[in-house]
Structure formats: structure tokens, C-alpha cells
Amino acid sequence: MSFFGALRDTLLFFLFPFTLPLMLVACYAYPTYVAPPLIAYFAHCIFWSHEKRDGAPFDSFSKNFFLFKKMRRSMQLRLHVPPSLKKGGSSFAKAPDAAFVFAIHPHGVGSDFRALADGMFYDELGIKSWRTLAASILFRLPLIREICLWTHCVDASRPVAERVMKKGHSIMVLPGGEREQLMTEHGKEVSQTRK
């Protein structure tokens, strides 16, 4: 990506999503001033569908965002990675450019842990790049869309997953998905997967 492309994306990501609620209120009061930036944001989302291509990971955000760091500490979030999959492990020594499919469990109600763990993958896993499959609806919600894109998410459709794997990225999958979120009951540990 060129410097100007990166600058454009950064400005669009930071300028619009974080000010969207204020823009909606302002759109009612001053439609001629606020409508053009909102239209530009939504046009960006439609025409530059990063979630349908290669995603738009923002490494510094997923590793260093102050809220993510604080939540990792307060939740005492840990990754349990077999030694063969850690940096320098035997799986990577044999095939350093190989792409893997990782299943992350549980999905459950608190699937936000996936975004928190994303910044930890850099240090824990020996893979060169990865993408996480996420529900299509997440890319229709301002701010949620950006957080998903910045933390390596792409659309969970089969064509996108196949394209990402062909480009050499490993894939993270959270089995259970939305169904598991909706059917979660306190005190019960049940995995919702299709046969």
C-alpha cells in the first residue's frame, strides 16, 4: 500500500468511526455539512471492502491500544500454545511459510477476548501472518467494523477464507459463532457446532 493510501485509510478509520454518534446528531441539525463526510465513510466501506479481500490489520493498535492492554491485565488473559506452534517450534522449523487453520475456543458470549488476544499472537505464535474469520454483520457496524479490521478479521465466507489461505495467511476460526452466543447459559459449558 502506498503512503497516500495508508494515510487515506488511517484518516477514514480514525476520523469517522469515533465521531459517528456526534455526526448523526449533527446530521439532523446541519445536514449540508455533515452528510458529505458520512456518505464518504459509507462509500469507503462499500467500495473498499477490506473484509472481502485481505483485511486491514493495524499491528500497533492490536498490540498497544491502552484499553486492550488494561483488559488483558485485568482478565489475566493467557494463550495456551503447544511448544511446536510457538516461535521457533518444530512445526515452523519444518515449514516456515506454511499456513495453518487454528480453532479458538470458546466463542461464547464474551467473544471480545479474540480481539484482546490478537495483540498477543505476535509474541506467542511463530506464524508470519494470520486472519480471523468474523461474521459478516460485524462489518456493517461502524467502529466495530474498524476494530475487527484492525485486529486481523476478514469476512467468514468460504471464498474469502480460501483466498486468504492462498495468499499464505493462517486462519483463526471461532467455532460456535453467533449461535453459541445466543444459546449461552450461565453455569453450563456447551459447544454449539454443526455436524
pLDDT digits (tens, 9 = 90+) for 54-84: 888 888 888 888 778 888 888 787 777 777 7
d(CA 36, CA 42): 10
Query: Region 100-109: what's the mean pLDDT?
Result: 70
Least confident of 52-56, 104-108, 111-115: 104-108
Grid-cell match 477464507, residue found: 161
pTM exceeds cut of 0.75: no
3-state secondary structure of 155: strand
Q: How far is CA 126 from CA 36, 42, 73, 90, in A?
A: 44, 36, 23, 10
Which of the residue ranges 3-12, 127-136, 159-168 would you say has the lowest mean pLDDT?
A: 3-12
The 10 Å CB-count burial string (b at 16+, else e) for 115-132 is bbbbbbbeeebbbeebbb
Do you find a cis peptide bond into 106, omega within 30 degrees of 0?
A: yes
Neighbours of 23 (CB within 10 A): 20
Tell which wins on pLDDT, 31 or 7.
31
pLDDT score of 159: 92
94: left (phi over 0), alpha (psi -120 to 50) or beta: alpha
Predicted confidence band at 96 (pLDDT cuts at 50, 70, 90)? Answer: low
**What's the pLDDT tens digit per position in 23-44?**
677 777 887 877 787 788 777 7
CB-CB contact of 57 with 122 (8 Å):
no
At 126 the three-state DSSP class reads coil
